[in-house]
Amino acid sequence: MTTTPASDGDRGALAAVAVGSGDSPDLDERTAAVRALETEFGELFTHVRRLFTENANRLSPGLMPGSYKVFTTIARRGESTLSALAETLHSDKGQISRAVRELEELGLIRRTPDPADGRSSLLSATAEGLERLRAVRAPSENSLLAALESWQVDDIRELTRLLHALSSAEAPD
């Protein structure tokens, strides 16, 4: 099934439906605003899932988006344990373990003994893995920069600050 991005009019209608969904004829302004935000996050998540799927397939045909996310997390962190990855990605250790095994077989990551815990391994991206990741990201590398080209720098910083507060479950300063 293919989805198309909602137009501004569609989003307004979705927000109106969220407000008038029958839950209560007197939904407060905060609830309406949160529902409109939820709609926008849904659109953003759909876009990100599509990007992850495309990047995963460019990295290795048939690679699942979840394995791609595990790989990009390892690449970003430098090195990580399986347990730390499971915690960071809010995933089951078995699921992460399967992704790690696949990434290892593809030569994208390697295991080394964890000097702090002999029972554990540190996972890190290989030089080949990092090079392939750079090549995969290149086509869409500037898409966010292009999307925000007409935005004021202060607006970008404000959005970043607010998203950080939301993801940290903190009230914005």
Q: What is the pTM of this model?
A: 0.70
| CA diameter of the chain | 61
The label of the residue with tokens 């137009």 reads: 7
CA distance 74 to 109: 8
How confident is the model over 5-44, as pLDDT tens digits?
445 455 444 444 444 444 555 679 999 999 999 999 999 9
CA distance 40 to 14: 10
CA distance 4 to 50: 11
CB 130 within 8 Å of CB 72: no
CA distance 150 to 81: 41
How confident is the model over 81-140, as pLDDT tens digits?
999 999 999 999 999 999 999 999 999 999 999 888 888 899 999 999 999 999 999 888
Measured CA to CA in angstroms, residue 134 lies from 75, 92, 141, 142 at distances of 11, 28, 9, 12
CA distance 93 to 100: 10
CA distance 62 to 68: 11
User: Which pLDDT score is estimated for 23?
Assistant: 54
How confident is the model over 56-76, as pLDDT tens digits?
999 999 999 999 999 999 999
Provide the residue type at 108 as one letter: L
CB 110 within 8 Å of CB 124: yes
Domain 61-140 has CATH 3.10.20.440: no
User: Which pLDDT score is estimated for 19?
Assistant: 44
Kindly calculate the radius of gyration of the chain based on its CA atoms and give it in whole angstroms: 20
Which stretches does DSSP call E strand in 87-159? 109-114, 117-125
SS3 content of the chain, % helix, strand, coil (to 5): 65, 10, 25
CB 80 within 8 Å of CB 74: yes
